[in-house]
Chain A
Amino acid sequence: MIPDNKIELHIPSVMGYEKIAMETAASMAKRMGFTEDRIEDLKTAVAEACINAIEHGNEMDSSTKVAITLTAEESKLQVTVKDEGKGMGKTSSPSIVSKIEGKDKTRGWGIFLIKSLMNEVKFEPSAEGGNVVKMIIYLEK
C-alpha cells in the first residue's frame, strides 16, 4: 500500500513524457504550499532529471520506463527519478564560454540546472540496476 503522502508514476522513455512528471510534481508542490517560483524551479529540475533518464539512462528505448516517486513531508518534497539503464549524462560543470567558442558541445546543461534549482541532489546507482537521482526541495515558511 502506498502511503498517502507518496505518488509514483512510470513514464515511457519517449521525449515529451517528462511533461507529465513535471505537472504531477507541480500539483503536489502546490498542494503543499510551495511558491509559484519554487514550483517552476521544481518543474524544470524534474523535467531535466526525466530527460536525462530517458536519453542517457534508458537510451530512448521506448520499451523501458522512467520511475518517478514524489514523497511529501512536512517541510520538504523529495523526488526520485529512476532509469533502467547504465548510462548517465555528464556531471561536469558546463561552460557557456567554451560552448559559444565551439570548444564544447552546446548540450549538457541538465545536471547543472538540477543542482542549481534544488536544495539537495544525489546521483547514485539503483539497487535494482540503473541510476537514480534524488532531489529535495525545502518548503520555505
Chain B
Amino acid sequence: MTNRDVEISISKKNDVSIINIKGDVTANTGEAIENAYQKVSTDGAEKILLYFDKDGYINSGGIAVLIGIASESAKKKQTIRITGLSSHFQKIFHMVGLTKYTAIFPSEESALNGF
C-alpha cells in the first residue's frame, strides 16, 4: 500500500485477519487503511485485528476512518479488535466511544486469545 506516511500490511493467524498499521492514521492515510479493510472483508474475514503502531500519530480524521470501518463491520457482523495503541490513544478511543464497538487489548497475543 503506497502512502509514505503509513505502511499497511495484511497477515492472518488462524481465522483472524490482521491489518498492521505503521505510521499515521489520518484522513490522508485513511484510504489505504480503508482499502486494507475492504480487502480482508472481500476475502471473507469475520474476525479482524487492527494492529497499530505505538508511536503512530492518530488525529480526528483518522478516528473518523476507524468509525467508518466500525460502522461497516457492524453491518457485516464482523468483530474488530484493536491492539498496539499507546496509552494516550487508548484513552482517546475510549473518549470518543469507539471502545463500545471495538475492544482494545494490550498485546497481539491477548487480542488473539479467545477471539
Contacts and interface: CB of A to CB of B under 8 A. Distances in A.
Interface string A87-117: 0000000101101111001111110110010
Contacts of A106: 64-65, 67-68, 71
A113 B95 contact: yes
Nearest to A89: B60
A129 interface: no
Interface in B75-97: 86-88, 92, 95-97
| Chain B contact patch, size range | 20 to 34
A112 B96 contact: yes
Chain A interface, DSSP helix/strand/loop, else mixed: helix
A21 interface: no
Interface in B49-64: 57, 59-61, 63-64
A47 interface: yes
Contacts of B88: 37, 40-41, 44
A99 B71 contact: yes
